[in-house]
Amino acid sequence: MSNAFAIEWQETGKPVVVGDIPPSVDVSLSHDGSKSLSSAGDWPQGCDIEPIRSRTVVQWKALLGSARIPLLDELIAGGESLDRAGTRLWAAAEAIRKATGQMSVSLAMGAREDDAVTFRGGAEGSLVVLTFPALLTDNEERILAFVTDEADAAERVSDEADAEEPAQGPAPQFDSGPLSAKSLAQFDPMAYGSDVHVVARSGYPAVSIRFPVGFRDACNVGGSVGFASFALWLGALRERGTGPISKQIVEDMATGRWGMVTNNSEVFIDENLYTDDIVEGTIWITELTGPDRATTNLHVEWCRVDGETRTHIGWSAMQTTWVEILSHGVVAARPMPQYFHDFIEPMTIPTGAKNIAVPTQPKDVDRGSLIRSAPMVPRNPYLLESEVFSTTMQDGNVVGNIYFGNYYIWQSRVRDKFLARSQREAMAARGALGELRCVHTRVEHLREVMPFDDVLVTMSLAALYERGIDLEFEYFKVNQDGSREKLAIARHRTVWTMPGAPGELEISPPSKLPQSLIDSVLEAIDGK
């Protein structure tokens, strides 16, 4: 034998060994962001490595599910700490899941010797998983879990004179509690190209996904991440957050009859992010609303991650509705499919429960005296800029309509077009002379638009301050006869900031707008 082999990944995310090896060899891989673990053998492999993290009793019970609470209590009664016991059970279930390919995993207590504990799981408790703590080179304790060869494991357990007999009878059915929906255990980081974690906030579940900031994301004049990038990330996390049922969603959407539309979305930016920063988006759902509870209210907190330090960066929110597509660009709200409901319901914070404090307004900062504001009339007369965008399939998505993120990209393009006339020097200086920074923007959708439609985007002044500008955007479909149909409206709040230290996370306090910018705004609205 040449012993030449390689590891490939199946569509499910399971690693397999290919090459000049016996066909019975199986392999399992695991990583926690900084350490990796692997196992191989001629029986079904499953391994997991988990850092021991501090959580409250409520959070651990929510994470593990009601069926595992007796096991948690038994481990703690035997002298184990809450966090080590909880991590041990989570790692054991993950190892068995990888060995069996099953999402629902049963666990029963096996043998204990010093810090090592075995559990039985799988079909009728046929698999044994060995778990033990390890202190690695970074001085952080982790739990390692390995599915062992059944015959070998049975022999070892029988030699332990003081070992407890494994639980007899059928293994208990695994109920992962409010974190399941057959559910979050299905997230496989290797299938996503980024870290996916199940976390608990205020005792309720959320999905946390980490990824690096790319070159294109950092499109602000001064090199920080632009507001449109947060909107595009929001869409990406929405899709990754439904990863375990994405194939079913795509199959439904491929029929041309079903889809999911965005009703509104918004972005709050409180701090800076830069290229190569690691950003973490934590997703949770606050409620299901509307007819047949077809509307989902999703929230994301953005944080910068540096080792164990998480720094809050901003927030995003999105409301979507499951719809039936009646005709070209015409939809109606419909009950979401049962598989979608079963997945999302356990991750929804119950009505009346203590909610996570998400913002409804941008941070209150001193933007100085008001210079001019638009009159309260149906159509804002203070037009600053407009542009028509011709859409193509590139602007659409699997549903067939225009992707919501384009509305933020169009905002950015129209705003930059206006700024280039009076602030070209400042924009060329890459932020050294200051820049106009968006701290909040919200888009409300009124109707759908499709590829090969023309979209007119107008930008008007809402309010001009000494240190910032509020803008209003309107989006219209331009018909062949020249008539218009309003598609969406948006609000956009900005401040003028001077540069801080390189890589500074804090956005500098608002500074006075350049007089050239004030003059440009007044000239546009006064028609001079």
pLDDT in tens, 76-113: 998 999 999 999 998 998 888 888 877 667 888 988 88
User: Which amino acid does the sequence have at 130?
Assistant: L
Per-residue pLDDT tens for 45-84? 889 998 888 888 877 876 777 778 889 999 999 899 999 9
pLDDT average, residue stretch 342-353: 73
pLDDT of residue 190: 42
pLDDT of residue 201: 56
Per-residue pLDDT tens for 359-382? 778 888 899 999 999 998 888 999
Residue whose token pair is 């060869």: 149
pLDDT of residue 103: 64
Please tell me the least confidently modeled range out of 2-6, 23-27, 227-231. 2-6
pLDDT of residue 367: 93
Considering 203-212, 290-299, 412-421, the range whose residues carry the highest mean pLDDT is 412-421
Residue 446 corresponds to which tokens in the numbers above? 């009124």
Q: Model confidence at 5, in pLDDT bands (50, 70, 90)?
A: low
What single string gives the DSSP state of each residue in 322-349? Answer: EEEEEETTEEEE-PPPHHHHHHHGGGBP
- N- to C-terminal Cα distance for the chain? 85
Please tell me the least confidently modeled range out of 290-294, 375-379, 491-495. 290-294
Q: What is the percent of the chain with per-residue pLDDT over 90, rounded to a whole number?
A: 39
Q: Model confidence at 141, in pLDDT bands (50, 70, 90)?
A: confident
CATH 3.10.129.10 fits 176-355, yes or no: yes
E-state strands within 151-290:
195-201, 204-212, 258-269, 278-289
Per-residue pLDDT tens for 295-318? 999 999 999 988 878 899 999 999
Q: Residue 521 above 50 pLDDT? A: yes
**CA gyration radius for the chain?**
27
Report DSSP state, residue 43: S
pLDDT of residue 167: 36
Among 69, 75, 72, 119, smallest CA distance to 99 is for 119
pLDDT of residue 259: 86
Higher pLDDT, 139 or 434: 434
**pTM recorded for the entire structure:** 0.65
pLDDT of residue 13: 55
Q: Residue 186 above 60 pLDDT? A: no
Q: Model confidence at 174, in pLDDT bands (50, 70, 90)?
A: very low
Q: Where in the chain is the domain with CATH 3.10.129.10?
A: 176-355, 361-528
Q: Residue 162 above 90 pLDDT? A: no
pLDDT of residue 412: 97
Contact status, residue 348 vs residue 253, Cβ threshold 8 Å:
no
From the options 3.40.50.261, 3.40.50.2000, 3.10.129.10, 3.40.50.920, give the CATH code of 361-528.
Answer: 3.10.129.10
Q: Residue 198 above 60 pLDDT? A: no
pLDDT average, residue stretch 471-498: 96
Q: Model confidence at 203, in pLDDT bands (50, 70, 90)?
A: low
